[in-house]
Structure 1
Amino acid sequence: MKTLKGPAIFLSQFIGQQAPYNSLGGLAQWAAALGYKALQIPCNHPSIFDLEKAASSQTYCDEVSGLLAQHGLVISELSTHLEGQLIAVHPAHDIAFDGFAPAEVRGNNTRRTEWAIKTVKLAAAASANLGLQSHATFSGSLAWPYLYPWPPHNPQLLSEAFAELARRWEPVLDEYDRHGVDVCYEIHPGEDLHDGVTFERFLALLKNHPRCNILFDPSHLHLQHIDYLQFIDIYHSRIKAFHVKDAEYVTNGRSGVYGGYQRWIDRAGRFRSPGDGQINFNAIFSKLAQYDYDGWAVLEWECCLKDADTGAREGAEFIRKHIIPVAGRAFDDFAAQGDQRESVRAQLGLDKGA
């Protein structure tokens, strides 16, 4: 059995204009002081982490690793959530997502998609140069506007959407395979891969590609009323990354899972800091230990109530307390007595004649 690693923290929600949040060194010092052992680093902030340089320069990657090592830290994964999102954008979302792309490709869906594919591929080389095994991303979405269809369900439309999604991602996954890195899609509403069924559909179109894997975040499953513990039972062999993010769903008579276009704080389902919501993390960490998950437990802070620094400080201790140091032996090993075939056959009455 294997013990998972942690605590780690996803930097995306903490990067800012003021020190210590405006440099990798400052963020590393801050995170280490809170008790974190690893950073999950987004690739859309060149001043924090230069993806193009990391993909081409082992020296740069060694410098980044050395900087983090000064604070007792490593990298858990790189993240291309925003870039992965741009690999597949429905025209209804063009304007909303355009701001995530460089100015030179905005307003041109084809060029923006090409840029996104190229960028996510760069993260494969960068991950390999950094000695990483997993990469965090989004799938993007072509079918999401048709989630709750009216006019009624159109099978051909959805088949074409998923076929195109797989077509765009297959060469990316092949690139990651060449570098020995797993792509971990965060199963997330807003993405075409938002539950187990959609992941399976995508995986089947990719002929069970070995690099097509899952970033497990129970908050997004809980808010869809999916059994997130059974999800681990079903998909544990594909879970290669893990976000520790809590959520709560409080039933009421005015709105439900769709949110009523309200702010997060007013929705029936909303994100919380670990321990403040309804997620059963004791059971999750037990399940992951049972299935030998040996990746990182990464805090993702998106609480609608609690201050970010407080959430980060509490999150490190929360993860540390939930990590299960797995046993090196079974509790009943003391009863083992070597080869007992003769004695057990005698115990069963099998060698006493007919």
Structure 2
Amino acid sequence: MKTIKGPAIFLAQFAGDAAPFNTLESIAGWAAGLGYKGVQIPSWDARLFDLARAADSQDYCDEVLGLLADKGLTLTELSTHLQGQLVAVHPAYDAQFDGFAAEHVRGNPAARQQWAVEQMHLAARASRRLGLTTHASFSGALAWPYVYPWPQRPAGLVEDAFDELARRWKPILDVFDENGVDVAYEIHPGEDLHDGVTFEMFLERVGNHPRANILYDPSHFVLQQLDYLAFLDIYHDRVKCFHVKDAEFRPNGRSGVYGGYQRWVDRPGRFRSLGDGQVDFAQIFSKMAQYDFAGWAVLEWECALKHPEQGAAEGAPFIAKHIIRVTDHAFDDFAAGGSDRALNARIMGIG
């Protein structure tokens, strides 16, 4: 068995224009000071990272890794959540998602989508240069506006949407394969890959591609009322990344899973800082140990109530406490009698 690595932290929710959150060196020092051992870097944030440069310059990648090492940190993964989202955008969301793209492709969905694909190619090459074997991203969505079947969906609409999603992603997955890197899609409402069924639909259409994998975040399953422990039993072979994020679901007589268009703090389902929600992390970390998850436990902080700096400070010891140092021998080895085929035969009364 393998011991999960951590604690680590996803920097996306903490990056900002003020120190210590405005450069990789300063935010790395901040994270290390809280007890984190690794960082997951948002590749779109130019304050922290230059994706195009990393794709083409080994010197730059070595510089990034050396900077982190000087702080006692490891780079866990790069993230292209924003760029991956733009690989597939339903027209209803064009205006909202334009802000994720480079300015020169905004207002032009076809150019924006091509830019997103190029970004994914850069991320594959950059990950290889950085010595990474996993990458965190989103799938994007073409079918999400039709998640609830009213009015009745036209026959074949969902199938056609997933055919197109796979057509767009299969060449990207091939590039990641050439670079020896897995793509871990965060299974997330708002994405076409938002639960196990939709991941299977996609996986079938990309020919069970070995690089099509999962970023596991139990908080999104709490909000969907999906069994997040059983999910690991089913899909553990495809789980390559892990966001440690808490959530709670408090149904009431006025609102439920869909949230009534309310702000996050008022929704029955809302994200919480680690330990403040309902996720059973003891069982999750046990299953991660049982299934030999070899990656990192990465805090993704989102909370409707708590300040992010408090959440980050509490997150490192919370994760460290839950990491299971796996055993290298069975607890009852002291009573083992060794291997004796003759004895086995006598015990069973045979031979």
Whether TM-score is above 0.5 comes out as yes
Match of 2:260 in 1: 260
1:24-173 to 2 correspondences below 5 Å: 24-173=24-173
Match of 1:177 in 2: 177
> Which stretches in structure 2 are left out of the alignment for 5+ residues?
none
Match of 2:273 in 1: 273
Q: Distance in 2 between matches of 1:115 and 1:162?
A: 21
- Return the offset for 1:251: 1.2
Structure 2 contact 251–257 (Cα < 8 Å) conserved: no
- Return the offset for 1:338: 3.0
Q: Distance in 2 between matches of 1:137 and 1:292?
A: 22
Q: Distance in 2 between matches of 1:125 and 1:334?
A: 49
- Return the offset for 1:153: 2.8
**Which secondary structure state, in structure 1, belongs to the residue aligned with residue 6 of structure 2?**
strand
Q: Distance in 2 between matches of 1:225 and 1:154?
A: 27
TM-score computed with the length of structure 2 as normaliser? 0.99
**Which secondary structure state, in structure 2, belongs to the residue aligned with residue 79 of structure 1?**
strand
- Return the offset for 1:344: 1.4
RMSD: 0.7
AA aligned to 1:15 is A
**Which secondary structure state, in structure 2, belongs to the residue aligned with residue 155 of structure 1?**
coil
Match of 2:334 in 1: 334
> Which stretches in structure 1 are left out of the alignment for 5+ residues?
none
Structure 2 contact 39–75 (Cα < 8 Å) conserved: yes
Q: Distance in 2 between matches of 1:41 and 1:16?
A: 13
- Return the offset for 1:334: 2.2
Match of 1:16 in 2: 16
Q: Distance in 2 between matches of 1:228 and 1:45?
A: 30
Q: Distance in 1 between matches of 2:259 and 2:134?
A: 32
User: Which stretch shifts more, 334-343 or 106-115?
Assistant: 334-343
**Which secondary structure state, in structure 1, belongs to the residue aligned with residue 87 of structure 2?**
coil
User: Which stretch shifts more, 224-233 or 44-53?
Assistant: 44-53
Q: Which consecutive segments of 4 or more residues in structure 1 shift more than 6 A?
A: none
Q: Deviations over 1:304-323 (max 9, x none)?
A: 00110000000000000000
- Return the offset for 1:207: 0.9
Match of 1:216 in 2: 216
**Which secondary structure state, in structure 2, belongs to the residue aligned with residue 265 of structure 1?**
helix
- Return the offset for 1:103: 1.2
Q: Distance in 2 between matches of 1:184 and 1:259?
A: 28
**Which secondary structure state, in structure 2, belongs to the residue aligned with residue 191 of structure 1?**
coil
**Which secondary structure state, in structure 2, belongs to the residue aligned with residue 27 of structure 1?**
helix
User: Which stretch shifts more, 174-183 or 332-341?
Assistant: 332-341
Q: Distance in 1 between matches of 2:252 and 2:339?
A: 61
AA aligned to 1:296 is W
Q: Distance in 2 between matches of 1:231 and 1:121?
A: 30
Q: Distance in 2 between matches of 1:35 and 1:48?
A: 20
Q: Distance in 2 between matches of 1:120 and 1:19?
A: 29
- Return the offset for 1:116: 0.1
